[in-house]
Structure 1
């Protein structure tokens, strides 16, 4: 009987061929099951993962051992600069903190440069303080102290300084450098009114315009034809506290002339300004 079965289903028969194919298929399926569900999960730690720790803001000297303790590797693949962190501090990591990765995964790090890159100091002179803030921020520079000086324009930049020394536009400085600004106060500071009594109109213009004052109405007292008129009254009075940009009214007449209230008839001597 055994001989007959073996003879009936040997390799030379169709039935024997089917049996061999079935055996081979079973072996292949079994090998795949063992490989994918036993061997492969074991060598790849299937179902096991590590939560990536947060190393941003940490010194590089501490990151190496820290990642090794978490069964992770690292690679410094980029550098950048931030004035907010010390040199050789981790600025960015990939994958991000909290991500799930396999054991021994490489974490790519961006590190803060030791020496910051340089930029050109922008030209802020004669620009507004608001504009200066925006330009400095765009240039990755910092605005420092504001020094007020006398000037007719409010919050207009007159000078730029670094650590007390004047700096010109175009000078290369490290990113994050602090730029102090000298700004005009728009006349908020008071100053004593110059004494122009007894001066001619042309001579009076020198101290008045030099103090950034504005000459207002000019009133002639009496007949000055053929004579050399001088300032016989001024408003504000000499030594009175005034501000930059204030208006000064002047009365001119012959030296020694007196002024009465009913004689102050305004007469615009615009031709004397020329």
Structure 2
């Protein structure tokens, strides 16, 4: 055992051991420098870049030739209709011009199409304005001007500038005529006092009027949900106007808190009341025993 430790000690303290370790450290450091400064830059083209040229507003053929002269490739990722450019013109690119990229990098192009896509105009009449806008956008159309006319139902499409079913270019503008919720004629307010709330709502709706706020008033002798009053209190209103109704509700009586009965003790602080003798009327009664 001692011989083994002696042998190990000689190896550790030997100068050849230190020389070998130094050589290994030098080789490791050299390898790291070689990979970092030579191999990786060669593989990734480090310190070598190309400034991306501007290939928009030129034809696709011209853009191809220009990119190849810079050592770059290209790919058409989208064709879009744009009336501001002729057909087959580049209208967008990625990466954008002046960016520095590696050689042989691919540049993605958006090219103007010669034929605009055609879409069928959907029917948006009788839809709410919000739903009509969503519907037109889903079909690739744009909402143009919004003009308003008097009609009973508010924010409902009355007319569209392009009839439904028509085939138009994608991106075409469709103008809408919207209802403002007020009719252009005067209507008579029906008799709704003493009607139930559902009956009053039905009568007002038939007359072209709307029910807005509903207020409640406690009543004792009237069935709940009965119309007591309304406002504005006029015989005629413009079609589509809104009324506020006053409705009866169950009367809940608030019970008063009752204190206990007050008992007045007449004997309190009254010395005369301490006399326990019977009243004179009893003393003056004849003694039946003596008579016997």
For normalisation by structure 2, the TM-score amounts to 0.43
Greater Cα radius of gyration, structure 1 or 2: 2
RCO (CA 8 Å, sep 6+): is it higher in 1 or 2?
Answer: 1
For normalisation by structure 1, the TM-score amounts to 0.45
